[in-house]
């Protein structure tokens, strides 16, 4: 996490740094991001960057945490809107992720963050590191039409869903498939999960 100094910064400067971070980390992979570019864009001296963040990793972590909190809020809203229907919610999340801009984030950054989350198998539904315990979203899921007998079953089910939505989203981001194709694929995949594959 960034230092106290960073959070004490005047609005204007902090925004400049944040914007530069979003631009640079959204361009390529995190490893490719250059601190030189960041300090140039934000118009701060190199030393200041290291006054605000321990290192590059620290700056990335800051963005990821922000992203997770915003996503969490978005999922909550979708669940409420869809009356707890988890399949509808999954599609809703897909739709909003594949919009041109996600919340305050650039789409390129969103792509990188989702990859990073996937790489570290971070589940947005209940992330112990970032979200408070009582903030789990599972309680808003309508379980009436689901074959679920325990908390454990629900857990595995969400794991599967998360993996699938992410997978398609990242494919769309990498431009291997279009937004529309991705949605159709997701619908198909959700259908399989619903009905089961076994005769």
Question: To 5 degrees, how large is the angle CA 182–CA 185–CA 191?
Answer: 140
CB 169 within 8 A of CB 114: yes
Residues 65 and 67: their CA atoms lie apart, in Å, by 5
Among the residue ranges 59-67, 90-98, 114-122, 134-142, the one whose residues contact a second copy (CB under 8 A): 114-122
Which CB atom, from 4 or from 188, has the smaller least distance to a second copy?
Answer: 188
Among the residue ranges 1-9, 55-63, 67-75, 148-156, the one whose residues contact a second copy (CB under 8 A): 148-156
Among the residue ranges 41-49, 87-95, 101-109, 152-160, the one whose residues contact DNA (CB under 7 A): 41-49
The residues in 50-89 that bind DNA, with binding defined as CB under 7 A, are 50-52, 55-57
Residues 58 and 55: their CA atoms lie apart, in Å, by 5
Among the residue ranges 31-39, 84-92, 117-125, 138-146, the one whose residues contact DNA (CB under 7 A): 31-39
Give the rounded distance of the alpha carbon of 4 from its chain centre. 25
Shortest separation between residue 122's beta carbon and a second copy, angstroms: 10
Among 1, 54, 80, 163, binds a second copy (CB under 8 A): 163
Based on the shown chain and the rule CB under 8 A, indicate whether residue 12 belongs to the binding site for a second copy.
no
Based on the shown chain and the rule CB under 8 A, indicate whether residue 31 belongs to the binding site for a second copy.
yes
**Residue located via tokens 């992720």:** 97
Of 191, 132, 135, 136, the C-alpha closest to 161 is 191
Of 197, 187, 143, the C-alpha closest to 165 is 187
Based on the shown chain and the rule CB under 8 A, indicate whether residue 82 belongs to the binding site for a second copy.
no
Residues 27 and 34: their CA atoms lie apart, in Å, by 10
Structure tokens at 135: 């903030």
CB 29 within 8 A of CB 114: no
- List residues binding a second copy (CB under 8 A): 29, 31-32, 115, 118-121, 144-148, 152-153, 156-157, 159-160, 163-164, 167, 170-171, 174, 176, 185, 188-189, 192-199
- List residues binding DNA (CB under 7 A): 4-5, 8-9, 13, 33-37, 44-48, 50-52, 55-57
């Amino acid at each position: 996490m960034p230092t106290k100094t960073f959070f004490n910064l005047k609005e204007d400067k902090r925004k400049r740094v944040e914007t530069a971070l979003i631009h640079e980390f959204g361009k390529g992979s995190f490893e490719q991001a250059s601190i030189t570019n960041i300090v140039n864009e934000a118009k701060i001296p190199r030393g200041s960057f290291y006054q605000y963040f321990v290192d590059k990793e620290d700056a990335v972590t800051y963005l990821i945490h922000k992203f997770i909190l915003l996503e969490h809020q978005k999922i909550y809203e979708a669940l409420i809107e869809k009356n707890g229907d988890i399949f509808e919610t999954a599609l809703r999340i897909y739709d909003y992720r594949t919009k041109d801009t996600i919340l305050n984030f650039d789409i390129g950054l969103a792509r990188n963050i989702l990859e990073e989350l996937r790489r570290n198998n971070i589940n947005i539904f209940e992330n112990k590191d970032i979200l408070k315990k009582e903030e789990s979203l599972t309680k808003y899921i309508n379980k009436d039409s689901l074959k679920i007998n325990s908390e454990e079953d629900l857990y595995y089910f969400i794991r599967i869903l998360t993996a699938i939505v992410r997978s398609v989203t990242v494919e769309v981001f990498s431009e291997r498939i279009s937004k529309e194709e991705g949605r159709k694929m997701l619908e198909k995949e959700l259908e399989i999960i619903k009905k089961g594959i076994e005769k």
